[in-house]
Homo-oligomer: A and B are copies of this chain.
């Protein structure tokens, strides 16, 4: 476990993907899920293969573990997650604004967490089947940003210095320019 303070699984479910139009945004959701410490992501079955491939390539190059799972039925995924004892957090601008109290409430349950992010419109069942509807500010912005902030608060910033396993490339931080080294 890379983060001993959080001994549980955290997965992301990306819902409401619109082919072509959301190509880059869904890719970014996947990249953020991995980079910010989630163990994996569920993507709807109509998500383009090119998105899956580019996420897999990032895992192969920059390390993991990070699981990419296609789901035929997101509602079923949510229900299964709860049936297995996990909690479901839906990030939405209409929810309760994130706070230390809300985060602690989630953390103290010590359960696996499924973080659901949608686009402009999400099905209404999601508001009722999620355990928590949490806003990262009650303003319109981005599921990519909402996911990043939620995971950053959940992992208390430690996710940004996580070491990934089996990385082929590693960045050596620089004040100027780029330095990337190949790992043996």
The interface of chain A, by Cβ under 8 A from chain B, is: 21-25, 28, 31-32, 34-36, 58, 62, 93-98, 124, 127-128, 132-133, 135-142, 144-145, 147-149, 152, 159-162, 164, 170-171, 173-180
Contact of A173 among B34, B62, B95 (CB under 8 A): B95
So how many copies of this chain end up in the complex? 2
Sampled A-B contacts (28; CB under 8 Å): A21-B24, A25-B28, A28-B142, A31-B140, A31-B141, A32-B141, A35-B139, A35-B141, A35-B145, A36-B141, A62-B140, A93-B171, A94-B174, A94-B177, A95-B173, A95-B174, A95-B175, A96-B173, A127-B177, A133-B174, A137-B159, A138-B170, A138-B171, A139-B171, A142-B144, A144-B144, A144-B145, A149-B149
Please indicate the chain B residues that have their CB under 8 angstroms from the CB of A23 in the complex.
21
Closest 10 CB pairs of A and B: A145-B148, A28-B142, A138-B171, A137-B160, A35-B141, A35-B139, A144-B144, A94-B178, A31-B141, A32-B145
- Report the separation of the CA atoms of residues A83 and B145 in the bound assembly, to the nearest whole angstrom: 31
Please indicate the chain B residues that have their CB under 8 angstroms from the CB of A173 in the complex.
94-97, 135, 138
Contact of A97 among B135, B160, B179, B180 (CB under 8 A): B160
Contact of A24 among B24, B32, B36 (CB under 8 A): B24
- Report the separation of the CA atoms of residues A132 and B144 in the bound assembly, to the nearest whole angstrom: 24
Asked if B138 and A142 sit within 8 Å, CB to CB, the answer is no
Please indicate the chain B residues that have their CB under 8 angstroms from the CB of A142 in the complex.
28, 31-32, 144, 148
